[in-house]
Structure 1
Amino acid sequence: MEEVVQWAANVMDHKTGAEKKAQVEERVRRISSDLHCEMLDLSVGENITELCKREKNKTFSPRVSVEIPVIGPTDTAEFMNAARLGKLNVIDKYLADGGNPNVHDELKRTALHRASVEGHTAVVQMLLEKGANINFKDQLGSRAIHWACRGGSLGVVKALKSHGADLNVRDKLDSTPLHVATRTGHMDIVEYLLSCCAKINSSDREGDTALHDAVQLNRYKIVKLLLDAGADTTIKNHEGVTAVQQVKEWQFDIMETLHTLEKLREMGPENTSRERND
């Protein structure tokens, strides 16, 4: 199984002076508008007491947030964090200023990796259109398509595929996107990869196919998908075990465990406790 490495620490976002000014102006405009409405109400005869009661019970509908254009230079840390958070305005400003779309952190993960695992399809599209390397490998040899399958966003997977992502590419563990989607349990992505003719019987470094992984992790629905798509049940991993044999071994282990528990019950609670302690 693949190791999971923590993302770099998040960088706190700072509001620019322009953002603060815009918020103040919006607040003043809203207050002025409310006061104007109240004056109109009073002019048609509504008294102060009734107005106060109405204001107390007033409910406000949520306002639609609009991204404010970024003013001033954007550094690499802000750009990387924006990719994780899906902030298109920050990313657009960084790239417009000539920023490198392929900068990476100490784990060699780029903004495209981050946006892919977080499911930010619009960010992925922008990065690819601005020159992000779709085949850039992180320390584990994972491409953006691996991270998209890990994150579970079908939209991102489709976006990467439309820009030429290899659906059979391997990381350092020889895992394909199908392996990754199977292990993380994203059935819709497994189904999509199979519909795109991804190689169903590819083996990873341990010789396991996606079917082996699905059986080991009890992904019943994915097992069915793979079998319906023609997965080969006779392929053996490096331990010489097929996926079918894994099922039999699992059933045998369950039966053996249940048999042992039944014996312990027959021996009585004292013996059962002593056996468990041993």
Structure 2
Amino acid sequence: MEDSVQSAASAMDFDTGVVNKAQAEERTQRITSDLRCEILHLSGGENIANLCNTKKMTKKTYSPVVCVEIPATGTMATAEFMNAASQGKVDVIDKYLADGGNPDVHDDLKRTALHRASLEGHTAVVQMLLEKGADINFKDRLGSRAVHWACRGGSLGAVKVLKNHGADLNIKDKLYSTPLHVATRTGHSTIVEYLLSSGVKINSRDREGDTALHDAVHLNRFKIVKLLIAAGADTKIQNNKGVTAVQEVKQWQFDIMETLQRLEKLREVGLVPPENNPREQ
């Protein structure tokens, strides 16, 4: 099962808020694309072509006004419920649940309304879903819980609500990524700071053996690097390639120096145009 997940798609900067159905659909498609890029960058995985084919089949099966990620067994009421979670429409959520709707209905990637609301930072919806019995530990196809999605979307409010309802801030997905890994990769320093203040395991390693510090260095998240080191991150931990976070810094510097030197040599033999003089300010 892990092999089938590897090319399903990790962190993706996300906009917040969706004000109409057209924007909601566009937002969903962009999130799906960014997530696949994040996962592919970290380690590859499930056949993207297959996922695309699945989406095409879904589009053919349902009305054009329905989000492309509604569940295969869903009704229009279910589709409205899922879209309402992305848009923060508490009244629609309340009516659906009052009519006996399943709070854990999910789309083709097994993302529930709680996942969507957590990503978009709709804390009132997150609160309502949890109070109405939504499974806080429901896993999507990548094994991500709602707290992973809240960290991915940068919603501190959603993270706090989930924590207050018992969410495990050290939980790992199928790539062994913790919420701290996710918040680091997506550059949400406020979330990282909150997680650290909540006492999360700072040196947890993902499937590649990388800690959050490895990720922060690799992605040039300078502010997060400082937060992690100040909180006591171990700079000597080696990943599966035997590389520490400090060594990644040195490698990055070496690569830059090597590139600049190679560029200068090309310029000397006329293969690269000379630098323009900087404009006077």
Report the TM-score range of the alignment, normalised by the length of the smaller protein: 0.7 to 0.9
- The Cα of 1:263 is off from its aligned counterpart by 1.5
> RMSD in angstroms over aligned alpha carbons?
2.1
Equivalence for 1:123: 125
Equivalence for 1:214: 216
Equivalence for 1:133: 135
Note closer, same or farther for the CA distance 1:11–1:153 as it changes in structure 2 (3 Å cut).
Answer: farther
Amino acid of the residue matched to residue 172 of structure 1?
K
- Residue 157 of structure 2 corresponds to residue 155 of structure 1: yes
Amino acid of the residue matched to residue 189 of structure 2?
M
- The Cα of 1:11 is off from its aligned counterpart by 7.3
Equivalence for 2:9: 3
Amino acid of the residue matched to residue 202 of structure 1?
S
Between the aligned partners of 2:196 and 2:258, the Cα distance in structure 1 is 36
In 2, are the aligned partners of 1:11 and 1:78 still within 8 Å (CA)? no
Q: Which moved more, 1:250-259 or 1:206-215?
A: 250-259
Equivalence for 1:61: none
Q: Pick from 258, 261, 264 the counterpart of residue 259 of structure 1.
A: 261
Q: In percent, how many aligned pairs have the same letter?
A: 74
Amino acid of the residue matched to residue 193 of structure 1?
L
Q: Pick from 244, 247, 255 the counterpart of residue 245 of structure 1.
A: 247
Equivalence for 2:111: 109
Between the aligned partners of 1:160 and 1:82, the Cα distance in structure 2 is 19
1:1-278 correspondence runs (5 A)? 3-4=9-10, 5-6=32-33, 12=65, 75-267=77-269, 269=270, 271-272=271-272
Amino acid of the residue matched to residue 112 of structure 2?
T
State the aligned residue count.
Answer: 212
TM superposition score normalised by structure 1: 0.72
In 2, are the aligned partners of 1:11 and 1:77 still within 8 Å (CA)? no
Between the aligned partners of 1:261 and 1:223, the Cα distance in structure 2 is 30
- The Cα of 1:232 is off from its aligned counterpart by 0.1
Equivalent position SS for 1:122? helix
Deviations 1:125-166 (A, max 9, x none): 000000000000000000000000000010000000000000
Between the aligned partners of 1:11 and 1:171, the Cα distance in structure 2 is 32
Amino acid of the residue matched to residue 217 of structure 1?
L
Note closer, same or farther for the CA distance 1:194–1:245 as it changes in structure 2 (3 Å cut).
Answer: same
- The Cα of 1:106 is off from its aligned counterpart by 1.2
In 2, are the aligned partners of 1:74 and 1:93 still within 8 Å (CA)? no
Between the aligned partners of 1:226 and 1:129, the Cα distance in structure 2 is 34
Equivalent position SS for 2:134? coil
In 2, are the aligned partners of 1:74 and 1:94 still within 8 Å (CA)? no
- The Cα of 1:81 is off from its aligned counterpart by 0.8
Gaps of 5+ in 1: 14-72, 274-278
TM superposition score normalised by structure 2: 0.72
Between the aligned partners of 2:228 and 2:195, the Cα distance in structure 1 is 11
Between the aligned partners of 2:120 and 2:272, the Cα distance in structure 1 is 48
Between the aligned partners of 1:233 and 1:114, the Cα distance in structure 2 is 35
Gaps of 5+ in 2: 1-5, 11-31, 36-54, 67-74, 274-281
Higher Cα radius of gyration: 1
Between the aligned partners of 1:78 and 1:235, the Cα distance in structure 2 is 47
Amino acid of the residue matched to residue 9 of structure 2?
E
Between the aligned partners of 1:12 and 1:121, the Cα distance in structure 2 is 26
Between the aligned partners of 2:272 and 2:89, the Cα distance in structure 1 is 58
Amino acid of the residue matched to residue 162 of structure 1?
N
